[in-house]
Amino acid sequence: MAKIYFLCTGNSCRSQMAEGFAHQLLPADWEVASAGVEVHGVNPLAVQVMAEVGIDIRQQTSKLIDPEYLAQCAVVVTLCGDARDRCPVTPPTVTRLHWPLPDPAQAPGSPAEKIPVFRQVRDQIQAQIVALAKTLK
């Protein structure tokens, strides 16, 4: 079974949403995981905007990058410059992709004012996962 790893700074928003979409959209023979260079906990706004599109990520947890898992991956996707820059070295057999997306948790304003930013990032991630899924079939 091939493995894919989605990485961002705190494994709270972008990589969690990517993991949720990947479970739904990637071929069934792919093992999907996400992690961060830090652990910030899953952001409730990420849970909310994913629920809007029918994907439940409430049971996902925020995790640190596991170097052993990383080395076993076929594909590693970094979702921000921080994760790309701080990601441990991978074997040459690992395909590394970089999708530089803004951190919706850093958007200014109240939670209600942040929701549109979360939706925009969610939709960008979904489009990337759909495109990636076509290459993995």
Q: Which residues are catalytic?
A: 8, 80, 87
- CA atoms of 51 and 68, how far apart (whole Å): 31
Give Cα separations from 88 to 93, 106, 122 (angstroms). 14, 25, 26
Crossing angle of helices 111-136 and 44-52, rounded to 10°: 60
Which two three-digit tokens encode residue 84?
A: 């790309």
Burial of 24 (0-12, 13-18, 19+ CB in 10 A): middle
Q: Give me the amino acid identity at 74.
A: A
